[in-house]
Amino acid sequence: MNDHSIATYYILDLDRTLFDTEKSTQVMRGVVALHDTELAAALEQRFEESTLLGESFSMRDFIAENVDEEAMQKIETLYLAAALNQDILNPGARELISYIRTQGDGEMGILTYGSPLGQAMKIKAVTELESIPFLITSETFKGAQIASWHQEDGYYHLPAELGGFLAKHIVFVDDKPFSFKGLPIDCTGYLVKSLYDAGIGKIPLNVATATDLHEVITAEKHRLTMQVV
């Protein structure tokens, strides 16, 4: 456990929050089409179906089920090369990362749900994300997972994968309403609007909605200003 205490730790979701998942899938579709056009079409159809249903989908796992290991490794290598030559971050993601890094008493990490190999591949596809610690979770209610990190000393003890910091405050940014279930009231949440807005229902009082990550930055600047006043 890192005994370095900080004021704020930013928990950032990957898919559809930092990461342009749709664009990434199209890049992968183009790579797979060089190997098998029918598989490429099936990949796109499965992605669209999972998006409509609000389900998690690992394009890497889907492809790996249909090709041998050697072909999968070749496809992944080509995908990473293609992705690194494009901008697969969502609007405001790069600015949010930069903003957090300018905070003298703040750190950040990525908390993402999904396939370990698939999510790790996406993170490797973006230069700006490779240096950010990440934790791939099987917990859909991330708010409850964050709550489990709160200890009697008043700090949130971040797991080793996220740097092991002791954080006084957590800011959690995600695009899925259910991700905030169980989020402690002393945390700050930002729900970034996406395709998952349908039937959004009631979200916790400590979770604000934002159209994009630029609005998250603006809201954070305001929140921190109010703390100083």
The neighbour count for residue 203, using CB atoms within 10 Å, is: 17
Q: What is the dihedral of CA 121, 212, 145, 15, to 10 degrees?
A: -20
CA angle 207, 180, 220 (to 5 degrees): 35
Distance CA 149, CA 127 (A): 29
Distance CA 194, CA 212 (A): 9
The neighbour count for residue 22, using CB atoms within 10 Å, is: 16
Dig out the tokens for 171 from the structure: 């800011």
Q: What is this structure's pTM?
A: 0.93
Under a CB-based contact definition with an 8 Å cutoff, are residues 175 and 194 in contact?
A: yes
Per-residue pLDDT of the chain (229 residues; tens, 9 = 90+): 566 899 999 999 999 999 999 999 999 999 999 999 999 999 999 999 988 877 788 999 999 999 999 999 999 999 999 999 999 999 999 999 999 999 888 899 999 999 999 999 999 999 999 999 999 999 999 999 999 999 999 999 999 999 999 999 999 999 999 999 999 999 999 999 876 555 556 788 999 999 999 999 999 999 888 775 4
Under a CB-based contact definition with an 8 Å cutoff, are residues 129 and 30 in contact?
A: no
Distance CA 222, CA 219 (A): 5
Site of tokens 């003298």: 104
Nearest residue to 14 (alpha-carbon basis) of 112, 120, 124, 101 = 112
Dig out the tokens for 185 from the structure: 């009231």
* The predicted structure's pLDDT at residue 104: 81
Q: Which DSSP helix (H) or strand (E) runs through 61?
A: helix 59-64
